[in-house]
Amino acid sequence: MNDRPSRRDALKRIGVTAAMVGGTGALATLSWDREGVARETVGSQRAIKDFRVPPRSDLPTMAVAKRGADPNALTRAAIDALGGMARFISKGDVVTIKPNIGWDRAPIHAANTNPEVVATVVRAAYEAGAKHVIVTDFSCNEAQRSFQRSGIWKAAYDAGAEIVLPADHQFRTVPMGGTVLDEWPVLRPIIDADKVINIPIAKHHSLARFTCAMKNWYGLIGGRRNRLHQDIHTSIADLASFMRPTLTVIDAIRVLVRNGPQGGNVDDTREMNTIIATLDEVAGDTYACELIGEKADRIDYIRQGHQRGIGTMDLRRIQIREV
């Protein structure tokens, strides 16, 4: 069976496959400007919605599913424990899903989000009443190859999602108001969505020590992202301050425990068969980093997220339900 959608079908659901966005910026507070990339000036108003839903005292902040080995069942169990997808998605919503599709790697390498997890979230969003679901990311490797080899293109497409690859016209430059990030091009499907679901994978990162929910927002921006590595932890905290998702579903079915973020050697991975659904990305990263043998207090961007009030590192302060 051909793993790729046909060319005709693909063109129906794909935002133009593209040359990656390049550009220049300034040191200290980084900004971006390029002819042909739309700009937006918002002043003190948020340039992007706060996509969160209100907390509920009768439901946990985080749910951890780790009974069994089926990614679909684990994903549904974790989301259901938070009240089900209908708590997060309303009838008629346009939903953008942001997995990690950074690398030209197969699922067994644990460099990208598990495609079955992505497909399950797409289907659950439609079941809850979503009008349209988009799956997008700004890959580090060549986008078409990364989307295809990760298995996410086919899995998400088969579940009914539109696949949007990065192209110049898919970005809008907006003020981000960060310590490091001032203005930067952001994927339009994120900006224009009614709801946004973050689906990172938990894995080792050679510079940041660990990458998961907060770090996954690197894939919503264009430009010369490698320049952000000069102050990677503050850049990640800036992105997490800017981007407040509706829901975060952390894939820890198979995690990359060393030589991340790209990996490539199956010996560097470990099966954990765990899904974490959370309303608090800082807490989610705090919990998930231990799955690869890290500690949150050793990861500066998690500490910054806690200090900024994005979420909490103190897992004793939130209700966690294991299912």
| pLDDT tens sequence across 138-153 | 999 999 999 999 999 9
What CATH number is associated with residue 238? 3.40.50
Calpha distance 21→30 (Å, rounded): 16
Residue 18 shares a structural domain with residue 163 = no
Residue 48 lies in a domain: no
State residue 13's pLDDT score.
Answer: 52
Residue 151 shares a structural domain with residue 235 = yes
State residue 30's pLDDT score.
Answer: 44
Residue 141 lies in a domain: yes
Residue 26 shares a structural domain with residue 78 = no
Residue 227 shares a structural domain with residue 157 = yes
Residue 314 lies in a domain: yes
- Packed helices 281-289 and 300-308: angle between N→C axes, nearest 10 degrees: 150
State residue 19's pLDDT score.
Answer: 35
State residue 138's pLDDT score.
Answer: 97
pLDDT by residue, tens only, the chain of 323 residues:
444 455 445 444 554 333 333 332 332 334 333 333 444 444 446 789 999 999 999 999 999 999 999 999 999 999 999 999 999 999 999 999 999 999 999 999 999 999 999 999 999 999 999 999 999 999 999 999 999 999 999 999 999 999 999 999 999 999 999 999 999 999 999 999 999 999 999 999 999 999 999 999 999 999 888 788 889 999 999 999 999 999 999 999 999 999 999 999 999 999 999 999 999 999 999 999 999 999 999 999 999 999 999 999 999 999 999 99
Q: Which amino acid is at 286?
A: T
State residue 9's pLDDT score.
Answer: 52
- Angstrom CA distances, 202 to 71, 311, 321, stand at 14, 18, 19
Structural domain for 116, as ranges: 62-322
3-state secondary structure at position 300 = helix
Residues 6 or more apart whose Cβ sits within 8 Å of residue 96: 133, 134, 135, 136, 189, 190, 192, 193, 195, 196, 197
Residue 91 shares a structural domain with residue 9 = no
Residue 131 shares a structural domain with residue 267 = yes
- Packed helices 115-127 and 71-81: angle between N→C axes, nearest 10 degrees: 50
Residue 217 shares a structural domain with residue 157 = yes
Residue 7 shares a structural domain with residue 119 = no
Residue 89 shares a structural domain with residue 218 = yes
Residue 201 shares a structural domain with residue 312 = yes
Residue 42 lies in a domain: no
State residue 225's pLDDT score.
Answer: 84
Residue 16 lies in a domain: yes
Residue 85 lies in a domain: yes
Residue pair 166/139 in contact (Cβ under 8 Å)? The answer is: yes
Residue 40 lies in a domain: no
State residue 47's pLDDT score.
Answer: 82
Nearest to 183 by CA among 192, 193, 171: 171
| pLDDT tens sequence across 117-137 | 999 999 999 999 999 999 999
Residue 107 shares a structural domain with residue 1 = no
State residue 323's pLDDT score.
Answer: 97
Longest dimension (CA), the chain: 52
Residue 179 shares a structural domain with residue 286 = yes
Residue 53 lies in a domain: no
Query: How many structural domains compose the chain?
Result: 2
The average confidence (pLDDT) of the chain is 89
| pLDDT tens sequence across 241-288 | 999 999 999 999 999 999 999 999 999 999 999 999 999 999 999 999
How many Cα neighbours within 13 Å face the side chain of 290? Answer: 10
Where does residue 208 rank: exposed (0-12), middle (13-18), buried (19+ CB within 10 A)?
Answer: buried
